[in-house]
Amino acid sequence: MEQLLRSTTAYKMLAHEAAEDRLANTYLLLFPDEHNLRGALKVFAPLFFDGSEGTRARIGRENHPDCLFFPAPGKAPDRDMAEAVVEESYLRPVEGKRKLFVLDNMHRAGAVPQNKLLKILEEPPAGVYFLLGAASEFPVLPTVRSRAERLEIPPFSEEQVTAFLQRNYPGCRDAALCAAASDGSLGRAQRLLEGGRYAELYALAFACASAEAKDIPAAARALNGVSEKGEFISILRRMYRDMLFFGTGQPCTAGGKIRALAQKFTPALLVYALDVFAEAEKQLTFNANLSQCTEVALWKIDKEKRKCNKS
């Protein structure tokens, strides 16, 4: 993953600003891969220091005295964390002239901890820097975003994700399939591959995409208990995208089942469906229920389909 991250524009921009000694005090790293977000922050953080192998190793282990990670792995930022960051920021660096606070999972932070950080983000003590990480920018308050320089890592290509999976999971058979369903997210592809869930999620997604009006409630209920919300919606959106490719004569590697299903949709309806599921994915970012969210989306598409049939 480090190799991929170092090839991004975001990394090169921060590296250039560090080399020119004109770092901003606060950066917001947007990386739509919560599974690997903390790891990505550890790739960017050494740029605030000397970037040596030893520094990278200590930051990777989270034991560099001047590079402090908050909150604990897997936790959401809270009020206590924000207060600890503010208090710690007034203590001098231990080894050098800079002190970096790496704040993980900012997309899971509520308004209270974010507001408590505002003043220190706006007027940090000399030598204090902040690297905020978020898998989505929507939950990050506009007041926080306005105080930070944006570093955005776009989704990786299917080829890059496939190559990553093949390097890290030698002999895996489903690397290309999981990469295609990952929407460019390494973490999403890893979860599909490690859990062996691709085939099951694909079957559930196909049942939803092919459901007639009378079958929509049952298809949605079948999603109760599915924890891979992002992965499922990604697979479902890809199905509609592949159907659109078939309908418009664009190259597509999807199988015959998707080609047959595409006959039931007009290209305009498929474009509408993609917009519907893009909105559904945004709602799922805020912990919406997958079953309910998918059912609402399918009813919207069915309503639009019936309206098109009447006209």
DSSP characters over 281-308: HHHHHTT--HHHHHHHHHHHHHHHHHHH
Q: Which CATH class is domain 197-310?
A: mainly alpha
Q: Which CATH class is domain 2-152?
A: alpha beta
What is the arithmetic mean of pLDDT over 199-207?
Answer: 87
How do 26-30 and 128-134 pair as beta strands? parallel
What is the arithmetic mean of pLDDT over 209-232?
Answer: 90
Contact 117, 144 (CB under 8 A): yes
pLDDT in tens, 153-176: 988 888 898 899 898 888 777 788
d(CA 265, CA 274): 12
d(CA 34, CA 133): 9
State the pLDDT confidence band at 311, using cuts at 50, 70 and 90: low
Contact 216, 298 (CB under 8 A): yes
The tokens of 155 are what? 């989704």
d(CA 169, CA 181): 17
CB-side neighbour CA atoms (13 Å) of 32: 20
Which residue from 228, 210, 180, 216 is spatially nearest to 294, judged by alpha carbons?
216
- Residue 27: its H or E element: strand 26-30
What is the arithmetic mean of pLDDT over 247-260?
Answer: 78
What is the arithmetic mean of pLDDT over 118-143?
Answer: 93
- pLDDT given for residue 255 in this prediction: 67
- pLDDT given for residue 150 in this prediction: 95
**Prior bond of 142 cis (ω within 30°):** no
- pLDDT given for residue 253 in this prediction: 64
Q: Which amino acid is at 46?
A: P
Contact 193, 169 (CB under 8 A): yes
- For the chain, the structural domain boundaries read 2-152, 197-310
d(CA 150, CA 26): 9
pLDDT in tens, 3-17: 899 999 999 999 999
Q: Which amino acid is at 150?
A: R
What is the arithmetic mean of pLDDT over 115-132?
Answer: 95
pLDDT in tens, 258-298: 888 888 889 999 999 999 988 888 888 777 789 999 999 99
Q: Is 78 exposed, middle or buried (0-12, 13-18, 19+ CB in 10 A)?
A: middle
Residues 6+ apart with CB under 8 A from 124: 25, 26, 89, 130
Contact 193, 223 (CB under 8 A): no
Q: Is 283 exposed, middle or buried (0-12, 13-18, 19+ CB in 10 A)?
A: middle
What is the arithmetic mean of pLDDT over 220-230?
Answer: 88
pLDDT in tens, 57-73: 999 999 999 999 999 99
- pLDDT given for residue 258 in this prediction: 83
- pLDDT given for residue 180 in this prediction: 77
Residue 113 to residues 86, 140, 144, Cα–Cα distance (Å): 11, 11, 11
The chain-wide mean pLDDT, for the chain, equals 90
- pLDDT given for residue 45 in this prediction: 97
DSSP characters over 194-209: HHT-HHHHHHHHHHHH
Residue 254 pLDDT > 70, yes or no? Answer: no
The residues that bridge with 27 in the sheet, in sequence order, are: 131, 149
Residue 195 pLDDT > 80, yes or no? Answer: no
- pLDDT given for residue 76 in this prediction: 92
pTM, full prediction: 0.73
Name which residue leads in pLDDT, 212 or 282: 212
d(CA 112, CA 80): 10
Task: Decide: helix, strand or coil at residue 259.
Answer: helix
